[in-house]
Amino acid sequence: MWYFDEWYDDPYTYVAKVGSMGATTLSCWAFILSTRFPIVERLFGGLDKVYKAHRHVGQSAFFLILLHPVFLAVRLLPEWEPFLSFFWFSDDGVRNTGIVALLLFIALVAVSLWISLRYHVWKQTHHFFGLLLLLVIVHMIVADAEIMRYPLLGAWFFAWLAVAVFCFIYIRLLYRWIGPLYEYEVEKAPELGDIIELYLKPVRPRRHLTHRAGQFIYTSFDTDRISAEPHPFSISSPPGEPHLRISVKQLGDWTSELSTLRGGERVLVWGPYGKFGDKLHADPDLDPVLIAGGIGLTPFLSMIKDADFVHAGGRTTHLIYSVEKPDEAHYHDEIESLNLDDDTLVYIPHSSDEEGFLTAEFIAEKVGGLDGKTFLICGPAPLMDSLTEDLQKSGVGIERIVTED
């Protein structure tokens, strides 16, 4: 606008435009963050961190877009009736497209962030973000405002929008066929307490997934008994084994249905994803402290059986396996069977019923102090949040604390 020497008469319009243009840009970024592209995962240090950023970017876009209609309408004050009617449908077709887009955005954000739905239903609602993107493009074109009038601004926004459209088509339509996809089948599915262990073997042995300790995969089961939307699970088997093992706690209808799986049923596997264990390779001089809460043990099961991981640099690894009651430690015997060498891997079982909640003080006592160590935490969000805060208060830098979300 400075270049064309054009300015708004109403100063509130600048705030409205910051809202619309800022929200449009962030929405495009949210689509990019949903694609699971390796370059994006590397940039954020793990796909779990990418999705946290995706959530924050989406929330920021939502609150920013609210500035747009509010500050376009504020000029109508102090007359409240025209101010309020500005937010509803009228004979102004341009404004109507914006209202439809805004209402859809509010509904989708509410469903995504604040309303509890079953996972597969919640997952399906994300398809409507493509419709929202289309409405935003239509509104920009029919409004014939700055983005259409200023060539550089138009090129900037339509470039981002084109990338966002491609990302939506890729993750919603193409990913199922051209993503990092492997065909597996169920070898066996034994139950261990309230945990279902799925052993998966590749349909074509030469075409199998290669993973690093601590990574996870997305799985989709080809059976009429289980809905087909992909779910993420940590790999609990170490690299190099002929099968993949995932250990799933039965927390709801979908996970409970996994017990109906039989040998030979097909599984689509995407991945691997995650950089949970990369910190230990980046800092080989630090002794790892692996802190697992319940089923959060699964990525650590792959680590403690990986010789390259455990013996790297001659360091000592401590594994703290925390459960509420001792009989919930379903993998206690498996860990004990590893013929533990106290100079290499130290196993520390913990029961919150008997010993209280995990604290930095308890950990320091069991692992010989907090200095010279890096801490990997996986488990329920309250456990990870409280321990991260407690460790920081005890002098552990945030760069030495890694969580798997």
Encode the chain (405 residues) as per-residue pLDDT tens digits: 888 899 999 999 999 999 999 999 999 999 999 999 999 999 999 999 999 999 999 999 999 999 999 999 999 999 999 999 999 999 999 999 999 999 999 999 888 878 888 777 888 888 899 999 999 999 999 988 889 989 999 999 999 999 999 999 999 889 988 889 999 999 999 999 899 999 999 999 888 999 999 999 999 999 888 888 889 999 999 998 989 999 999 888 888 889 889 999 999 999 999 999 888 777 878 899 999 999 999 999 999 988 777 666 678 889 999 999 999 999 999 998 887 666 788 999 999 999 989 999 999 999 999 999 999 999 999 999 999 999 999 999 999 999 998
CA distance 75 to 345: 68
Q: How many CA atoms lie within 13 A of 357 on its CB side?
A: 9
pTM above 0.85, yes or no: yes
pLDDT for position 342 = 67
pLDDT for position 224 = 87
- Long-range (24+ apart) CB contacts under 8 A made by 323-330 are 323/293, 323/294, 323/350, 323/351, 323/352, 324/294, 324/351, 324/352, 324/353, 325/351, 325/353, 326/351, 326/353, 326/354, 328/193, 328/294, 330/192, 330/193, 330/195
Residue written as tokens 């990913």?
Answer: 175
276's enclosing H/E stretch is none
**Tokens found for residue 330:** 């379903």
pLDDT for position 392 = 97
pLDDT for position 311 = 64
- Distance from first CA to last CA of the chain, Å, rounded? 44
Contacts of 70 (CB under 8 A, 6+ apart): 16, 19
CA distance 218 to 198: 13
Q: Assess contact for 52 and 405: CB atoms under 8 A.
A: yes
Contacts of 128 (CB under 8 A, 6+ apart): 104, 108
Which is nearest to 212 in space by CA: 192, 248, 239, 180?
Answer: 239
Q: Assess contact for 54 and 26: CB atoms under 8 A.
A: no
pLDDT for position 285 = 82
3-state secondary structure of 287: strand
pLDDT for position 1 = 86
Contacts of 269 (CB under 8 A, 6+ apart): 181, 182, 183, 184, 200, 209, 217, 218, 219, 244
Give the rounded distance of the alpha carbon of 304 from its chain centre: 24
Helix H segments across 271-359?
278-282, 298-304, 307-310, 332-336, 352-355
Which is nearest to 272 in space by CA: 238, 297, 226, 319?
Answer: 238
Residue written as tokens 């077709």?
Answer: 93
pLDDT for position 359 = 94
Q: Assess contact for 163 and 232: CB atoms under 8 A.
A: no
**Tokens found for residue 232:** 């993420």
pLDDT for position 188 = 93
pLDDT for position 313 = 65
3-state secondary structure of 170: helix
